[in-house]
Structure 1
């Protein structure tokens, strides 16, 4: 009882504490001296301003004040640095930036003004590099972003009935080059528009064009079937590499992870899972139920704590044929190495990595691929056994698109 009373007293003391208030870290109200010798160097949509700092131990930071499109902005730089970056300009005109040194007591110096002239914003370099081509189910956009600006590429579709443009896709990017594909569009000639904007809402012109997306449809998964038990003579199945202590067997699955789970429409911590410690490559043949020119496919990794790890596919090939009993009829349709968006090492995943795995990784086959009914997934290695000679495979789900042929 005595111990309970002591705890109550401690809690009462805790709840009775006053909240800390943010206050200046110094009571010295002396005005600091301003910066001197400011020099501005233009950058893409920005400027870097270097300067000399006064010899003042009470100095806290430098504040830069400026305007973009009539809106007041500011940037701050620690007293440990000798420069401040101002950014967000949407033109190459001359702008005035006002610099202040600020003391630990939050007292500002007299202002020092400097003229800056930013270089062209990254949005315009990206805009001029746009290359658009028709794609299966939509269009593909390639671009360069040499300045590595954080940009958004906005794709528009003109609605002739409503006589207005509507947004169909936003693509966010910050690396030096890239490409993306807009899907789900009808295979008829349509008018599109693309413009670039940045996080300060600066916008490029709109590139307008017409094109006709290439027809495709998602293959009916209810027609898919396992072809493993038919023992088709897939190329390179035999002889398999010999590894001491490892049983060489067909890619049998764990009892609760049949291959049919790979196309049951459920993405998560289930799917197809081979038994472990198998020599690679592992071949997984599938009967699509129809003959089709495959345009693209999307795979979902085993989710939860397994993305980019364990038996999720890292490198693979896709093969196809219409006469599976003829070993010489199989042709390689695709070869891929899965990339992690963040580039982080095994076991470390960013939010971007998690989002990409949840959305599924999509891979497009080149135009001109042959129509096939039978495909074979050649598992080369998994994320947990990169370049390994043994391993296993698990995939949560696969979807396939293409043009069905008679």
Structure 2
């Protein structure tokens, strides 16, 4: 009995060894070498930078898929669709030139049919339409670029400037799939220079280059070491006007959540430290800041940038959703006029903002573009013509975790502000 067991075990080992030694060779699904019949009745619908081709499938039982072969930017491309579909999309064309697409029915043995050729003529590609829509203007510290991207195509804008030697130099990239939008390139002195902007898609098609001469508007980053927390000093003087937003309760003193999240973290230059108010406070929450504790300067504000609390909290929790920026030079005076425009007679509303997600998705669901937008900081401009102020008040109307809510809280990693000193 023991001998039989040893013999059986030995045989099994030999079989296993032989199986292990065999090459793992992939072979066609079928040994039928018959070529399938070609597809029939191809119909072309030309699209923006693309074409949709429909057809009638052959009746061969050994059909596996349909393949399109064509040349794109000097390289051969192929598109495959299964035997359960009767259409395929060819895309990535950077102009409206006519092109020939060869279509093949392919068997389970990877045998191709005779080709059926169709001619396509793509409509104007997205990068061309986007390029035609570009509008530029000077802005604080740089250039503002507006665009329309009706096809929601994945577009990359590259911005260039001409240097002192007359050569083009890369400045920045801007990625988008939004139907329309704008972006700013900052950090330049108020000197006229030549700018270039062009659009590029994921197939490396390039639009023409828009060339413009623009002089950036002067601005400087405010020195955050001169900022000061004045919540307790002027809490009772921050205005509330009927009808009050949300709860309507006069919560003016946003208290730190704990000693770990003090208000100085809001402007300490560290994008990982956090200011966090106590939770379940009545909204709106007011956060007043002295922009120059020495009292020497006032500022015409041009823009500000905020960095959300990141991780699982982006576009959620206590990150701001809807807020206003107010300003004054007399923080202990309250005007009875909600439309007051003189910062020397009370608080003046400087701007109102609602944060939007690039993806437009629901709270709790974030795209890669959402994550990148939050991590890189989000910039907001103040309107032209606002007065110079020494004090600002951030009026947090609601946060992402309590949109249109009556209670909530507020947190941010960092706030930076730019403007002109007066």
Same fold (TM over 0.5): yes
Relative to structure 1, is the Cα distance of residues 17 and 375 closer, same or farther in structure 2, using a 3 angstrom cutoff? farther
Alignment-derived partner of residue 319 in structure 1? 326
Alignment-derived partner of residue 158 in structure 1? 162
* Matches of 1:188 and 1:169, distance apart in 2: 18
* Matches of 2:84 and 2:364, distance apart in 1: 35
1:361 aligns with 2:373: no
1:387 aligns with 2:404: yes
* Matches of 1:80 and 1:140, distance apart in 2: 48
Offset at 1:24? Answer: 3.3
Offset at 1:118? Answer: 1.2
* Equivalent in 57, 69, 72 of residue 68 of structure 1: 72
Contact 1:240 1:279 survives alignment (8 Å) = no
Which SS does the other structure have where 1:31 is aligned? Answer: coil
Which SS does the other structure have where 1:371 is aligned? Answer: coil
Offset at 1:80? Answer: 2.0
* Equivalent in 147, 150, 153 of residue 143 of structure 1: 147
Alignment-derived partner of residue 271 in structure 2? 267
Contact 1:293 1:372 survives alignment (8 Å) = yes
Offset at 1:26? Answer: 3.3
Relative to structure 1, is the Cα distance of residues 78 and 225 closer, same or farther in structure 2, using a 3 angstrom cutoff? same
Offset at 1:238? Answer: 10
1:335 aligns with 2:352: yes
Alignment-derived partner of residue 94 in structure 1? 98
* Equivalent in 397, 403, 406 of residue 414 of structure 2: 397
Contact 2:234 2:331 survives alignment (8 Å) = no
Aligned residues: 387
Offset at 1:71? Answer: 1.9
**Aligned-residue CA RMSD in angstroms?**
2.4
Relative to structure 1, is the Cα distance of residues 336 and 240 closer, same or farther in structure 2, using a 3 angstrom cutoff? closer
Offset at 1:334? Answer: 1.4
Alignment-derived partner of residue 303 in structure 1? 310
Offset at 1:263? Answer: 0.7
Offset at 1:242? Answer: 11
Alignment of 1:200-211 (within 5 A): 200-211=203-214
Which SS does the other structure have where 2:162 is aligned? Answer: strand
Offset at 1:23? Answer: 4.3
* Matches of 2:88 and 2:103, distance apart in 1: 9
Contact 2:251 2:285 survives alignment (8 Å) = no
More displaced stretch, 24-33 vs 43-52: 24-33
Contact 1:237 1:283 survives alignment (8 Å) = no
* Matches of 1:111 and 1:56, distance apart in 2: 16
More displaced stretch, 131-140 vs 82-91: 82-91
Alignment-derived partner of residue 288 in structure 2? 285
* Equivalent in 129, 132, 147 of residue 128 of structure 1: 132
* Runs of 4+ displaced beyond 4 Å: 16-23, 237-243, 246-249
* Matches of 2:405 and 2:395, distance apart in 1: 14
> Which has the greater radius of gyration?
2
